[in-house]
Structure 1
């Protein structure tokens, strides 16, 4: 079987120790892809305003106060739970079923006490948004 000839760009002489243009492009694309993915992952999701109003979240929470008001700020919650393995599930359950106090004396009230029932999908939306803060 005859050998295929490489295009001139691949056979052109280059100085020793200097990577080929193709290798540079490949590294650039890889770094760009990773950087873009990281930027998207760190970008805050759009606020689910209707859900926040329906559940009266701002009665107890703030977006980013340095000290808890009645409950921790969304930023404080994100800082505490963002890297925990089952945080999504834990927080979704707490939103849907209420729960004991972890930040002070005030427990998380049940959804009907906050304004309306909360579906699993809506709880997931709220948790994703809070953890993106």
Structure 2
């Protein structure tokens, strides 16, 4: 379990940029490249379940949830389990905050190809 100060610092570093804003489009090519580089595509596909849910399923589940970007960013960084079944999502501690923001924003937008 993380201490509250660390969680607050991580959230402020992740959630405090315009990348979370709905009117700030994320370049699909950039997000896809980051996802591939960080092994996201080994467990997730855009439109179908692999080991984990598809990016489109994630977008649908969290549609309209204002807290989703920060919560999902923490899940990418720290890993998680139980939301989509018994298989845990591994942590990605080496992934930088900007890359996490880009991928999470793209996923929550429905992982568009353009």
1:125 paired with 2:102, answer yes
C-alpha distance in 1 between matches for 2:68 and 2:27? 17
Measured on the aligned residues, the alpha-carbon RMSD in Å equals: 2.0
Map residues 28-107 of structure 1 onto 2, 5 A cutoff: 45-47=27-29, 48-65=31-48, 68-107=49-88
TM-score, with length taken from structure 2: 0.68
Mapped to 1, the partners of 2:32 and 2:107 lie a distance apart of 12
Alignment: residue pair count: 87
Structure 1 gaps, min length 5: 1-39
Distance 1:105 1:69 in 2: 14
Partner of 1:108: 89
Could you tell me how far apart the structure 2 residues matched to 1:62 and 1:110 are?
A: 18
2:26 and 2:105 in contact (8 A); partners too = no
